[in-house]
Amino acid sequence: MNLSSVPLSVQTTCAYCGVGCGVKATPKADGGFEIAGDTAHPANAGRLCVKGSALGDTISLEGRLLYPMVRPQRGSDELRRVSWDDALGQVADKWQAIIDEHGPDAVALYVSGQLLTEDYYVANKLMKGYVGSANIDTNSRLCMSSAVAGYKRAFGEDVVPSSYEDLELADMIVLVGSNAAWCHPILFQRIAKAKEKRPDMKLVVIDPRRTATCELADLHLPVKPGTDVWLFNGLLSYLNQIGAVDPAFIAEHTNGFDAALAQADAECGDIAKVAKTCRVSVEALTEFYEAFAANAKVITGYSMGVNQSSAGTDKANAIINCHLIGGRIGKEGMGPFSITGQPNAMGGREVGGLANMLAAHMDLENAEHRNAVRTFWDSPRMADKGGLKAVDLFRAIEEGKVKAVWVMATNPVVSLPDADQVRRALAKCELVVSSDIIERTDTNAFADVLLPALGWGEKDGTVTNSERRISRQRAFLPAPGEARADWLIISQFAQRLGYTGFEFSSAYDVFDEHARLSAWRNDEADLPRKFNLAGLAGQGTQAYDAMAPVQWPLLAGEREGAKRIFADGLFSHPDRKARFIPTAPRLPANLPEEDFPLTLNTGRVRDQWHTMTRTGRSAKLADHIPESFIDMHPQDALIYGVREGELARLTSKWGAMVARVQHGGGIARGSVFVPIHWNNQTSSDARVGALVNPVVDPVSGEPEFKHTPVRIEQFRVNWHAFVLSRTELDLESVAHWTRIQGKAFARYEMAGRQNIDDFTAWARELLGVTDPDADWLEYADKSERMYRAVHVVNDRIEQCVFLSPRLDLPARGWLAGLFAEEQLSDLDRAGLLIGRPMKKGVDAGPTVCSCFGVGRNTICSAIRDKDLKTVPEVTACVKAGGNCGSCVPELKKILIETRAEISAEMPA
Ligand SMILES: Nc1nc2c(c(=O)[nH]1)N[C@H]1C(S)=C(S)[C@@H](COP(=O)(O)OP(=O)(O)OC[C@H]3O[C@@H](n4cnc5c(=O)[nH]c(N)nc54)[C@H](O)[C@@H]3O)O[C@H]1N2
Ligand SMILES: Nc1nc2c(c(=O)[nH]1)N[C@H]1C(S)=C(S)[C@@H](COP(=O)(O)OP(=O)(O)OC[C@H]3O[C@@H](n4cnc5c(=O)[nH]c(N)nc54)[C@H](O)[C@@H]3O)O[C@H]1N2
Ligand code: SF4
Ligand SMILES: [Mo]
């Protein structure tokens, strides 16, 4: 890329979630970039959530993988830098040797919804059209493969029929298994705004947990985990009973109604019975059913609480059935809307990223489709059967059936279920290659060859968001080190293998081929697909570079794509009809039992992204939830002998982890919730994937991430401590630790078992201070076994450590502030030794608003002192919530709680 041609501001797309917000990156005088929302982008109209706003914090080169590396010895930490030529040569030789000896199914690619469409397209072409094996699967298998399977069963094609706008036009929105307030914040804000304008608009949230999303809901149904099919079968039966049916639509445009209804009636015809099974009140369930029937314009949005289940595909179809019965699909304000997670989950679906799909919405198992693609690609060897799905793929690797795996843009040692099995598999695999932007990850630790990819801000191409809108990601940074675009790495590899058809010279070349394939034979009667980018084919590099966000389908000559699909009642099955699918309800595959009495639910927190390789580098994002946790009901904690704030070990049949117990207030008895983000780079023992059962949905192959039986017990330690340090620590002697990124320092929360006799010696060793003359302040209370020490260099705080046998350690926020100061004042030194700030009001409490760094204490005090009564008043007073708005649901909760406290204190 020629940087002199880069305009002052570059319009690109956020690197994170499937909302797909437009971002404007503008260079600053100090060499950094100002990141702001793009007002011209239809997804966000200028807004960004807290993760998007912090993108600028994650573009530094610290920790980046910048050169191709090989690991001379398995299991060793040592990496050797090699040339691209060498690296690709080594991989190609070994790869080809394995194919020659064991056939094409002995090699595999494991890719990601975080690749650009261009990268994804080339990877698929290579495997399915040239290597001749469909052993290419993606982390989207773990994410929305159930939604894909549900759409395909119902519509004959994987098509999201609605647009974001429909969420604003709906009279009722049902969010099933979606914590949109934290996971799709800008979409959630659009819903919140629409609801503000039209307070009659109803929001129903179906989730076993009371999440931040529930703060906006008119009705929350805290269903028993895994019972969604009962709930929606019950709804289908109810809608039929009261006549909320469109008989003409059913007759003309669908098949299978009678069978689906009979299935629903059989077990779910009685509201009281369904309520009991789902563990919700009959009143609440009736309210939901009545509202669904009464409001024609209903959008049902669903996400991981639906997809990540051994009944995920049935859950999706049970929902779609309820829309089909009233013909409520593809029209303004209505439809079953799968909300995708990753920035390019949808692009992956277009290129056929899953092992059981073919490019451009064609089917691998369909000979006609295979022929069409073969001709288009002029491919020497087409795969003719589905490949291994993610969980099976890593099993086949451990069994030695797959002997080479190339992982791209995903971190399976953290994110797959039964994650210790993934470690075993990779340790056994003959050739492990990883393309990543970060050098040290849990997965890279097993790679023989590491290939440096271009990251966000450096790479060029397209992504498709949840509403089928294709947006450009554009580079505004030069390529660092020797990093290369993923599509280029794969193309060069393919050429080394001797394949022609990979002579792409730019992302545009790839995109154009992808667009042409989407239109290829798409007008023939036996091959019609809704997915069509004909209007973007042959547009030329300039138009591609300037491409505005656009939805598909986009037919030849069209400038704007379709907002809605299937309004004409013509679906993609051969008979052009949609299908009702009978969904027989069943419980999760593994249920709690004596040894494992609790159900483990896993998911996301507001300010972290997946395995934290990027968001974990931002101090701003670390504040909201600095450590992993086990959220549980206080009564369960009492029963199992664990206490809030203390560490506990969770164990399942598959693995174990350690984290801190918390009572967030939103969990029903019998369940615990643990975030997915922490891993071996950020904590000693908090990788929750190790516990997750590897059971998958029989249709989609998506794992059951939300329901694993576990037990909990105390994790006994003799002391708790934390360190703030400008240099990295060696944590060998510590029983449990978490590393938290600060501004110019790292914070370590830790706990240990060993008896510490000599505090000073222990602390100096931990902090790596060998100089006996170092400026070292300390305070020790031998009888209380409390200790604190501060290491000062040139009058500036360098490190500090605080230790106690209990959890009564001082607030970290105040200490973090001292690291921003060039010089410690006498007052600061005194405060350090007594373990609390000498100035008043400096403990802001846990961060609520990450954008402005506003803590809970500050917010509560303002509500009390200024008698604030609404969220806008709080924002006006303390700024919290005034930028990205991601914390507004939490502000609302704090406001309600504090106002309740104030009224309780008032004299009667
Ligand atoms: N902050 C943040 N945002 C993200 C991501 C991130 O890592 N961090 N990742 C992105 C990605 S890839 C994805 S896939 C999305 C995920 O977005 P979401 O699906 O909204 O997020 P999760 O937290 O995985 O799970 C959603 C909810 O499902 C509920 N649930 C569990 N079991 C059941 C059940 O049986 N029935 C029902 N109805 N609900 C259940 C959980 O309690 C949880 O609150 O988020 C995207 N956005
Ligand atoms: N227990 C549990 N596990 C889960 C889930 C759950 O809810 N519960 N959710 C699942 C879901 S929905 C998802 S989507 C997965 C996500 O899980 P992963 O995909 O494993 O998580 P990420 O951290 O996003 O991994 C992306 C990797 O790609 C690297 N990377 C970033 N940009 C680029 C690039 O441009 N090129 C290349 N080559 N590499 C890049 C990053 O450094 C990182 O190592 O987790 C799944 N696992
Ligand atoms: S909602 Fe946030 S994370 Fe998602 S695309 Fe928009 S700014 Fe990025
Ligand atoms: Mo995902």
Say if residue 406 is exposed, middle or buried (CB neighbours under 10 Å; 0-12, 13-18, 19+): buried
For residue 693, the model assigns a pLDDT of 98
Q: Tell me the CA–centroid distance for residue 818 and ligand 4, in Å.
A: 38
Q: Tell me the CA–centroid distance for residue 304 and ligand 1, in Å.
A: 5
Q: Tell me the CA–centroid distance for residue 177 and ligand 3, in Å.
A: 19
163/103 same-domain check: no
pLDDT in tens, 233-248: 999 999 999 999 999 9
Q: What is the CATH number of the domain that holds 672?
A: 2.40.40.20
What's the domain count of the chain?
A: 6
Q: How far apart are CA 528 and CA 572, in angstroms?
A: 7
195/258 same-domain check: yes
353 lines ligand 2 (CB under 6 A): no
Question: Which ligand is nearest to the Cα of residue 208, counting in written order?
Answer: 1
702 lines ligand 1 (CB under 6 A): no
* Chosen domain end from 319, 338, 357: 338
Atom nearest to 143 CA in ligand 1: 14
For residue 524, the model assigns a pLDDT of 77
Whether residue 634 contacts residue 864, with contact meaning beta carbons closer than 8 Å, is answered with no
194/326 same-domain check: yes
Q: Which residues contact 903 (CB under 8 A, 6 or more apart)?
A: none
Nearest to 490 by CA among 499, 481, 482: 499
CA atoms within 13 A on the CB side of 891: 27
705 lines ligand 2 (CB under 6 A): yes
What stretch of H or E contains 146? helix 145-155
Q: What is the CATH number of the domain that holds 360?
A: 3.40.50.740
pLDDT in tens, 8-47: 899 999 999 999 999 999 999 888 899 999 999 999 999 9
651/702 same-domain check: yes
172/299 same-domain check: yes
Q: Whose CA is nearest to atom 28 of ligand 2?
A: 409
704/729 same-domain check: no
Q: Tell me the CA–centroid distance for residue 616 and ligand 4, in Å.
A: 18
133/181 same-domain check: no
Q: Tell me the CA–centroid distance for residue 286 and ligand 1, in Å.
A: 26
121 lines ligand 1 (CB under 6 A): no
For residue 7, the model assigns a pLDDT of 55
Q: Whose CA is nearest to atom 17 of ligand 2?
A: 415
116 lines ligand 2 (CB under 6 A): no
The answer to whether position 626 is within a domain reads yes
Task: Quote the domain boundaries for residue 120.
Answer: 69-144+344-460+481-507
585 lines ligand 1 (CB under 6 A): no
For residue 840, the model assigns a pLDDT of 66
Q: Tell me the CA–centroid distance for residue 409 and ligand 2, in Å.
A: 7
| Tokens encoding 171 | 């009279």
497/361 same-domain check: yes
Q: How far apart are CA 338 and CA 150, in angstroms?
A: 10
**C-alpha radius of gyration, the chain, whole number:** 28
169/285 same-domain check: yes
The answer to whether position 537 is within a domain reads no
The answer to whether position 605 is within a domain reads yes
Beta partners for residue 685, in sequence order: none
451 lines ligand 2 (CB under 6 A): no
The answer to whether position 360 is within a domain reads yes
Long-range CB pairs of 80-85 (<8 Å, 24+ gap) are 84/482, 84/484, 84/492
118/243 same-domain check: no
Q: What is the CATH number of the domain that holds 280?
A: 3.40.228.10
240/320 same-domain check: yes
The answer to whether position 524 is within a domain reads no
For residue 428, the model assigns a pLDDT of 97
123/163 same-domain check: no
Atom nearest to 113 CA in ligand 2: 14
Residues whose beta carbon lies within 6 Å of some atom of ligand 3: 14, 16-17, 19-21, 44, 48-49, 51-52, 184-186
Q: Which whole-number Å values give the CA distances from 314 to 577, 600, 755, in the listed order?
A: 19, 21, 54
Q: Tell me the CA–centroid distance for residue 610 and ligand 2, in Å.
A: 6
| Tokens encoding 294 | 């009464």
The answer to whether position 475 is within a domain reads no
- The whole-number mean pLDDT for each consecutive block of 10 residues of the chain, a chain of 908 residues, reads 63 98 94 94 97 94 97 94 98 98 98 98 98 98 98 97 98 98 97 96 98 97 98 98 98 98 97 98 98 98 98 98 97 97 96 94 93 96 96 98 98 98 98 98 98 98 98 97 98 98 98 97 83 97 97 94 95 96 97 97 98 96 96 98 98 98 96 98 97 98 98 97 96 94 96 95 96 94 93 96 94 89 90 82 82 90 93 93 90 92 81
Q: How far apart are CA 747 and CA 728, in angstroms?
A: 9
Residues 352, 609, 460: CA angle, nearest 5 degrees: 50
